[in-house]
Structure 1
């Protein structure tokens, strides 16, 4: 009972709510890859190529793509500091606890890739967290410098690739990409063997993305989040801080301009367009965070935090549940609806299921202390089985 009360007092509900908000954006992106083989092949499904479909995809490119991954990574780094504090409160050595946690996260990621969804981020997070673990003793100034340098290298690499590399030597032609996309979609419509095979076939692309973009960008955000956590950035937010308005005034115009450039430039199919998004996405992400903090701390809209926080508190369970939902809806293991949803329908389905997750998370946490995945990861971390039900 004492442990439960201590944990309740030390939770930062703004962080939980921001994590819940990030889950929605991540799902809106991920579900497009769950629903069809065309996005992963960087081509448009001919069945959904109307101007309206193009507008929906463009809106996602401007306002969603790459933004919520950065937020989720930042919050991962913030939560790393909470793990440090939890070990200190328990009088336990941090290193073995954290290394067990990283190993558990990696194992869950491997199972996620094989069984549920090939576009996993958990394995990348686990590997990059080893770097964060190694750097945990650096000063804030050093962490910030490394974050800027790493993110700068990611941006410069994208610019150099766009300017000097011949993509035709690496990227399939239009006809070949369409054939690959159709093959991937048909594989999703198969049974377990076909679906698992499709997930494993995407490992090379997942590895390339992790090494070139998601891993380094994630590390930069981890480090920024670690510094924010050390300084307890979200522990005393009021919602009326001038910095929040400045982030909105700067982040929205610059971030949206970069998103428009990314969308009009061809999205992930154009490396220079990707570079524009890499350069500006952090500012739009910061503007989202500032806006949500102002909303959550306004008396009339404080209910937003209460709605989002439970989903963010069991984010790992909800992340895995989203993949399971996609598996059961789109693949031949379930309903076999891959290739039948328009961009708008796919986004609507993601929003609808997320609404169910909000209600389900609140219901669950009134009865249980942790989500199933969090409970298992906590058991691995602490090397002892945690209590399950709310006392």
Structure 2
């Protein structure tokens, strides 16, 4: 197979980037899976304060925090266009069946259902609900010109930054009013409520540790509390619009040929230069300021709001670097493993939650709160090995990953072919699967 053309109805380049992104997402998710929620934001709250722990936070804050999720979200937007186009082609060729609109909205409905189950029973930091909601809104824009898609996506992301900077400034004003004794009762109540999100008490983390180390119902209680906070107070003003903006940009990147290796080497190199030589140093300065100021919650909140600006440029730089590697043909064995992981990205994303739930919850191995931030990397490495080892042989026997098969069967409302059939005599290989969601 070649990297520059689709094989059957799949693109090796898209699959490889998707596999790379789903592995990278775990680098950040592991913190919230392994210990108190707020440790994701502030390493001094949970996860250790040794140099190894702080450097683990710093490197991830610069290179992966929001960047891998951003790349994965852009790919979701790209897949929205790809699957809609192929649903239309399939309906024309077969003279019937689900069209692009029915296919998409059924997919989003079942993604929402699966995401809700995932958020409350496995991982409060679920992204599937966010994707389902954002996916409902971006679909009508899929046929717009790439330049207009980029402009709309960028405008939304800028508005998110403006909203978060305004919110950070409001928190600073509340803090100043409290300190000067001029705060009204309403302002004091607002400040006290905000503390749960920007600087929670240590007792909250201790409570999470106790519950997650308990039985199934105790872990469910702790997880549901955070999931509700995320879905009602964090994602609507921040996560949902950010996902919409990134999906629109992902649509534009796909239509312009970015994910299918149709950009010139110079264009990919330029994207890498912007990301690595401008956006990374800016993010590194923000990271240093947060660290050097003792993770002051108000300063951190303000700087993280501004830090969203360079984030998509770093995500695109990561994608560009991998796409150039795919084009070069180097490390083909690793690219094939990434691609297999990407074809099963839905299953691999859910499998990481299943594995970590068993490892960290009390009804499993009960490691919740026991591993430092640096020690959590050993778990990440082990799961990466598992994903890269199991995905390729699985797809040699089955058409889809297990959860992809469930999702597709629900969308079509009938069981889809699962076991891979031997190729017909004289063919070049096994029949390929449909594009991944």
Shift of the 43–355 alpha-carbon distance from structure 1 to 2, 3 Å rule, reads: closer
Displacement, 1:163?
A: 2.7
Shift of the 141–45 alpha-carbon distance from structure 1 to 2, 3 Å rule, reads: closer
Match of 1:243 in 2: 267
Match of 1:205 in 2: 229
Q: Is the 8 A contact 1:41 1:177 kept in 2?
A: no
Alignment of 1:298-337 (within 5 A): 298-337=328-367
- State how far apart, in whole Å, the 1-side matches of 2:224 and 2:120 are: 7
Shift of the 61–88 alpha-carbon distance from structure 1 to 2, 3 Å rule, reads: same
Q: Is the 8 A contact 1:15 1:234 kept in 2?
A: yes
Counterpart pick for 1:102 among 108, 119, 128? 108
- State how far apart, in whole Å, the 2-side matches of 1:151 and 1:72 are: 16
Give the secondary-structure state (helix, strand or coil) at the position aligned to 2:165: helix
Q: Is the 8 A contact 1:258 1:281 kept in 2?
A: no
Deviations 1:181-229 (A, max 9, x none): 1111211111111111111101343122212222111111111112233
- State how far apart, in whole Å, the 2-side matches of 1:232 and 1:45 are: 43
| CA-atom RMSD in angstroms | 2.2
Moved more, 10-19 or 44-53: 44-53
The TM-score normalised by the length of structure 1 is 0.92
Match of 1:4 in 2: none
Match of 1:233 in 2: 258
- State how far apart, in whole Å, the 1-side matches of 2:259 and 2:196 are: 46
- State how far apart, in whole Å, the 1-side matches of 2:140 and 2:360 are: 40
- State how far apart, in whole Å, the 2-side matches of 1:130 and 1:363 are: 34
The TM-score normalised by the length of structure 2 is 0.83
Displacement, 1:23?
A: 0.9
Give the secondary-structure state (helix, strand or coil) at the position aligned to 2:308: helix
Q: Is the 8 A contact 2:254 2:260 kept in 1?
A: no
Deviations 1:86-123 (A, max 9, x none): 21232132212211111110010011012111111101
Shift of the 236–67 alpha-carbon distance from structure 1 to 2, 3 Å rule, reads: closer
Structure exhibiting the larger radius of gyration computed from Cα positions:
2
Shift of the 313–46 alpha-carbon distance from structure 1 to 2, 3 Å rule, reads: closer
Give the secondary-structure state (helix, strand or coil) at the position aligned to 2:307: helix
Displacement, 1:387?
A: 0.3
Displacement, 1:8?
A: 4.8
Counterpart pick for 1:148 among 137, 148, 154? 154
Counterpart pick for 2:125 among 119, 130, 155? 119
Q: Is the 8 A contact 2:154 2:249 kept in 1?
A: no
The number of equivalent residue pairs is 384
Alignment of 1:128-147 (within 5 A): 128-147=134-153
Q: Is the 8 A contact 1:295 1:304 kept in 2?
A: no
Deviations 1:326-375 (A, max 9, x none): 10000112000011111121122112211111110011001000011111
Match of 2:240 in 1: 215
1:158 matches 2:188: no
Q: Structure 2 regions of 5+ residues with no counterpart?
A: 1-5, 92-97, 176-190, 422-437
Where is the helix percentage greater, Structure 1 or Structure 2? 1
Displacement, 1:17?
A: 0.7
Q: Structure 1 regions of 5+ residues with no counterpart?
A: 1-6
- State how far apart, in whole Å, the 1-side matches of 2:317 and 2:17 are: 12
Moved more, 269-278 or 350-359: 269-278
Match of 2:320 in 1: 290
Match of 1:3 in 2: none
Alignment of 1:261-300 (within 5 A): 261-266=285-290, 269=297, 270-300=300-330
Counterpart pick for 1:385 among 415, 418, 424? 415
Deviations 1:147-192 (A, max 9, x none): 1110110111122222333375112599952111111121111111
Shift of the 236–285 alpha-carbon distance from structure 1 to 2, 3 Å rule, reads: closer
Shift of the 211–261 alpha-carbon distance from structure 1 to 2, 3 Å rule, reads: farther
Shift of the 174–52 alpha-carbon distance from structure 1 to 2, 3 Å rule, reads: same
- State how far apart, in whole Å, the 1-side matches of 2:103 and 2:334 are: 34
Give the secondary-structure state (helix, strand or coil) at the position aligned to 1:48: coil
